[in-house]
Structure 1
Amino acid sequence: MASNNTASKCLMCTRPSTLRCADCKAVSYCSYECSDASWRFHKALCSSFKDFQTPPAKNMFRVVYLMPDESSPKFCWLDKADFLDKLRGGEGNMYDLIPGAELVQESRVEVNQISGQRQERKLTMYYDENFLRYAELNKAVVSSTQGLLAYDWRGPIFACAGKPGSSDFNMVDFHHLVAFFITFRGKFEINEWLSGPKLQAVLMPCDGETRLDATASPRSVMVPRLHYIWDEKHDISAVSQRIGMPLFAVHCLTKSPKWTESRDLINYATFMHTNGIANPKFDCKKVDFWAISKVGNMLIARVDQQHLEPDVAQAFADYCKYHVCTLVNAAIMQDPTAVEQLGRPMKNPPEFVMAEITPEKWAVYLSQWKALKAHDQAVAANAKTGNASAVLADGVTADTIDGVARMGLTKQDGFKLMHSLKIDLGTLLSSLLI
């Protein structure tokens, strides 16, 4: 995870950085999005790096081993003179350094194929070319890359940095090694996609961020293509699929140490994963994880990777919270057996629920949401200028917008919608423990 204060280049995108990994302090990032994107790979060695700062004896250097039966890579110290002697074919040989290998080969890595940047120093990787001897993939490589492999790496591997025997392998080197594993013999179109520019997403602030900064609101952020959001196919909001705008909705890994109050990690955007609307992620299991979990900030992005306006993301979160969830709760309250299983999705939501989750209904909602926002901004502006009594002729009333009944735009609208469905609010609130 990242902390402030550094002046190096970002490990993920090579831009000037302002954050440093708080654990190993060996890599830097330009943003929390880059830090979160890196963490799933970086964590394989991050915690152990601090234990390999001082060599146990003189003339030793640090390398990394990726053993086929071990769940993660590991650092190791090698004697420089002994290593160079083996490299030159003197007493002993390289087979002593790769247990069980039959045909030791080396590969050099000089360019990070994902960032397109030439590395400050090359990497040399040694491995058993007779990989068919090994029945399974190298577990350490699989865990280091999170399974993002095009080539079946098998057998033991170790790597060193710079001129062999001259430099210690570090965490930046490990990042380049992981990029090599991911892109080696990968399909051209996949590698080309990975090497493309960052993609836009929307950050939805949690209660802690808005508590500390009253002006905090959904905002655009740029996300690396190796960020986990683009892999989370099961974190697609089911409601967003039904309205024809599939969205990823995932939580951010980085949490601020200033978020100390009980509600700080709550994020209303979790309602994008609405209980009661079928989603393959949950497969009819308990779906209240998103609704009750304290997830911190969230990232929202379009599955088609097109630009997503922060206002649209916020409107969709409100749509799920105040409109769709109100309807789902109404359906639950109309089914006496459902109250006992509020944590489970309804197998067959009533038609009146599904009829409100369509592209057409969403278009109406978004139009009303934007009209209400403009109205509220105008009211605030009038109040600021001392013209608070001015009547706005913008078609917005407590019950309608442009003559059409208001959908669930706010909490109050949700209560009105529930009342129109003849649901007793007292019973509902007590059953939901609100």
Structure 2
Amino acid sequence: MASETTHLQEEDVAHIVWAAHILAYLTKGRSHAQAEQSGDAAASDADSETDTEAAFDDETDTATEKAAALSSSRDSVQRKFLDCICQLLSPCKGWDGVTAAALREEEGGVIVDVARNGGVDSDPAILEYCRMLENYLACCASAKEPSSTATSITDFETASINYTSSRVDYWIAACRKAYTGSHVDTDWDSKVWPGRESAVQTWIIMAALLLHCDSERMDSNTRSCLVQQAYRCVRETEVQQLLLDALGPKSGLRLWVCLGFVARPLTDCRLLREIALWKPELRHAQVSLVPSAPKTTLGRRFVVDIVTAWERLGLGIATKPVIDLLDPYKERFKQACAEPFSLHAEMQLISHYEECRGPGRMLDYIGCSKKSCLLCEIFLAALKNPIETRGRHGVCYPAWGVPCSNSEAIHLATNRLKDNLVTRIRGFSKELIQPGATAALPNVMQSGIVSDFSGPTLEDWRQRQKDVDTAKAEQNTIRTKLLVTEGRVSDVQTRIDPRRDFEPDDCCVMCNKSPARRCGRCRSIHYCSKDCQASDFPSHKLLCKKFATQPGRPSPEHKRAIFFPVHKAKPVLVWIPTKRQYDKESGERWTEALVHPYLGPDSPITGRLRVEHNEVRGRNLGSGFVAWAPRKEGYCVHLLHRDAYLVDGSLPNQSILASVRASSAASCPHAYHGPMVAIREIHPEDYADIELADFRHLMDYFVTYGSTEVRESVPDLQYRASTVIRGVKICCDGEIKLHGAKPFVSIDIKQSTRLTLLAREGISISPISALLGMPLIFWKDPNAEFHDDPPGWDATLSASSNENAAFMMRDTNPSDSSWGWASLHWNHDLGNVWAVREDEQDLDVREVAMMCYFARHKLPRMFADTMISEGGRMQDRQRVLSFITRENMRAYWEDTGGDEAVRNHEV
């Protein structure tokens, strides 16, 4: 039995090796020999594209590295931690230097297991380097913030520059080449660049170092100076814009990317320190080098010719077209399959964890100094518990060692990998032999199980499968339409403030993308895709046909408008007469829209509402339609209505409500009563025909104006509109106990919601948060359901009780009689509370949890003592205020296990 198992595994390994080589040939992939070439010039062909892409997609912007470390989720921070470790332990470019790492939590602490493509030996030098890294992290136990400048560097930072010298020297040479080939006679005199003197001085020093260094014989001192100066450049964001302006976008961007890679050792070190400072469990992480795994070598009976391998993979009989396709590779295939293959670093870690199972928990993420190859990507995704990496480059490296193990998980993933590769081969070969044809099913012997099915049984199975596929397709369609309607597609192009260049009229009305095509019927609106058109169709169809068949214009003075009657279920297209007016006293001219017949027989005073910006789409229509606007450009959608429609007895407008419902909204947050007319207003003081794109903008306005709705935040990888900021909902007792909510929940708050809350409640800044250096605005949730205790509520405090918010609102004015107390408004009937940063930056859940934990558990006794003391009250209160600092808050959180308390809902 054992021999059968061994044979089965060896057969599986052979299938992977055969399939990987064939797929690499068909896709023109690089061979292992090319990837292993010693010269970085040769390796750059394999790596330059990946590195450049990584510079945009995978590298942390050094200007925001601190924010990234502090604001991300726990897992996201740990992932960045692993990626930085890998980059610091990757000594060179090319295949041999690729390093991977995984995090393992044990009772004694955190272990970082490290593997490398070329193997990690037990050389004393690398062991000493790893110990220096551990000490570097341990030094972050102090609450003192690490320096963010490059004026002085630590021993480990110097060691990291020397350890990665091969990689650093490569990018210094690339940096020098990019600069000398583009700067020509650029004048770097600070007088030529007013306002950028600091950036010019920083770059002049870097340029001098580049021009005078010898990249072929680089000494350690020169290399260190170059890395430190490159770090200063990438930290000073004005340098980037200086290079783009001085050298041009293409050359400037190439040079900026190279600078980032030169600075990377120091960037990674500083980011590690920041992460370790913020995440205490990582300060005492220990680095464990994973022993090299045995190489994959095929037995002699599995070293076959390429045609035999094709047929044994189940790809069918090798016909003449197939033989002709494979013929160029037949000589090297057999020789290549006979070579031993090393395991990629990711696979070494997988084998290590499967062979050495223990109580430690492995993060479902493997950090890596490069993106994963196609085979690693497929294998990791095929595991029972899929593992993610920093990204993939999709190249099939044929020399891929297969992790051989008796583990059921590895055996299953290997089979899935083989099936995936065979499917890809079938598709590529079919396309190469018959371009445009679909891949045929493999020509294999029919299974006895399938043969026993009757015809009706197979038909039933096919029909059930078809029903399932149809249901999934419908669900995806509905989800896509909803996301597009709500303006949440991932590639929407947005703007926040009015600009001189507005989106062109021919861009997509749903996502602002160009080019877009007109609606085939009305020719009055543009869509970039069928998804966008389908999502808008329920509301667009209300007017599309009417627009196409509307009678001609009665006169040049008539302008097309949309009339929203009170009692009808649909809006109507009408021609509104306009009249040019002149004021003799002021000498001003303007155009009046004669809408009184539509607003009622009593000739009411006309109210006006102008829509210049679509918040849902992040799209600017115009500017200057209010008296105080600095510029007058573009256009706006002008809604004319009865000025007193909310108090003159006007009935709810049914056509507006029907239009909003067609736009996937249940109702309007604001009440619209009486008849209304929408027309396009242009400068100067004139009107134009309304377009059906304006109808979409108007519907988006109706569903957002006056809205106090918030949504729980989605992961950062998903799109968020540019006018949305991330806040935190501090949940009341009722929300936590009845709905099982966490005490603190991340929420997205739209700009219109913030404006509505400001108008209704004003601004209430938490005094405690202000002392902690991050002023937070608190608003009570207007839609809370816990103002009255629900039936069966038997807790001591009411369902609307929210001690976390109340303690944050304590008065901190030492001379005030209400010192240490929250006002009545913030001490009674709170319900859920929304918190946002005063500076409108995103707010992290953990930050709020830490503040509330500190205010609720540490400060009450200190406040109470100062309330009852007889003498020295002011001095005692000042002492309390001096204690309320971020350092003390963070220390209290760590000393008392704040993270665990939040997880257990003890906050």
TM-score by length of 1: 0.44
The structure carrying a bigger strand percent of its residues is 1
Tell me: higher relative CO, structure 1 or 2? Use CA pairs within 8 A at least 6 residues apart. 1
The structure carrying a bigger helix percent of its residues is 2
Structure with the greater alpha carbon radius of gyration: 2
